[in-house]
C-alpha cells in the first residue's frame, strides 16, 4: 500500500508537531526543575556585581578624593541658587505633606482636635492675661524685666 505525497507530507507535519510538543514539555520540566537554582545564581551574581561596583567606586573615590571635592565645590558655586531653590522646594513640599497628614488625622479624630484646640485657646488666654497684667503694671510705672 503506497502512500501519496500528500499523505506523506501530512504524516511528517504531524510527527514534527508532536516532536515540538515533546521538546516544549521537556524544556518546561527542565526549567521548572532548575528555576530555584537559577534564581539563586542570579541573586548571587547580582550581589557580586554590586559589590564589585561598590569596591571600584570606593577605590576611585579614595584615589581621586581631592579632584572629586574640587569638582563638587565648583558645581555648588556655579549652581548655588538652583541648589537652594531645590532644597527649599523639598522642605516646603515636605512641610506641606506633614501639615496635610496632620489635618487628615485631626479630621479623622475630632476628640483629638478638640483637645488640641482647647489647649491652644488656654495658652492664648494665658498670654492675653499676662499681657494685660504687664500693661496694668506699666500704667502704674512698674516695669518687669
Q: What is the pLDDT of residues 111-143, one digit of tens each?
A: 999 999 999 999 999 999 999 999 998 888 887
* pLDDT (0 to 100) of residue 39: 72
**What is the per-residue burial (b if ≥16 Cβ within 10 Å, else e) of 55-94?**
eeeeeeeeeeeeeeeeeeeeeeeeeeeeeeeeeeeeeeee
* pLDDT (0 to 100) of residue 1: 63
- Which three three-digit cell numbers place residue 3? 502512500
Q: Where are the alpha helices (DSSP H) in 64-79?
A: 65-78
Instruction: Say what the pTM is.
Output: 0.36
φ/ψ of residue 37, rounded to 5: -70, -30
Mean pLDDT of the chain: 90
pLDDT in tens, 75-93: 999 999 999 999 999 999 9
Query: CB of 83 within 8 A of CB of 76?
Result: yes
Residue recorded with cell 476628640: 111
Could you tell me which residues come within 8 angstroms of residue 61 by beta carbon, excluding any fewer than 6 positions away?
Answer: 68
Rounded to the nearest 5 degrees, what angle is found at the Cα of 106, between the Cα atoms of 102 and 109? 140
Instruction: Average the pLDDT over 46-65 and give the result.
Output: 90
| Between residues 37 and 138, the one the model is more confident about | 138
Check whether 144 has a pLDDT greater than 80: no
- Which three three-digit cell numbers place residue 47? 550581589
* pLDDT (0 to 100) of residue 126: 96
Question: How far is C-alpha 26 from the geometric centre of its chain's CA atoms?
Answer: 42
- Through-space distance between the first and last CA atoms of the chain, rounded to whole angstroms: 125
Instruction: Average the pLDDT over 41-46 and give the result.
Output: 82
pLDDT in tens, 5-26: 999 999 999 999 999 999 999 9
Amino acid at each position: 500500500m503506497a502512500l501519496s505525497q500528500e499523505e506523506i507530507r501530512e504524516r511528517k507535519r504531524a510527527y514534527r508537531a508532536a516532536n515540538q510538543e515533546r521538546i516544549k514539555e521537556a524544556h518546561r520540566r527542565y526549567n521548572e526543575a532548575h528555576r530555584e537554582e537559577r534564581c539563586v545564581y542570579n541573586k548571587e551574581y547580582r550581589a557580586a556585581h554590586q559589590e564589585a561596583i561598590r569596591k571600584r567606586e570606593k577605590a576611585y573615590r579614595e584615589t581621586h578624593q581631592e579632584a572629586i571635592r574640587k569638582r563638587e565645590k565648583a558645581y555648588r558655586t556655579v549652581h548655588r541658587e538652583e541648589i537652594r531653590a531645590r532644597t527649599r522646594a523639598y522642605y516646603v513640599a515636605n512641610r506641606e505633606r506633614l501639615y496635610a497628614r496632620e489635618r487628615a488625622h485631626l479630621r479623622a479624630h475630632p476628640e483629638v482636635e478638640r483637645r488640641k484646640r482647647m489647649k491652644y485657646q488656654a495658652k492664648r488666654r494665658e498670654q492675653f492675661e499676662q499681657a494685660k497684667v504687664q500693661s496694668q503694671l506699666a500704667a502704674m510705672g512698674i516695669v518687669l524685666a
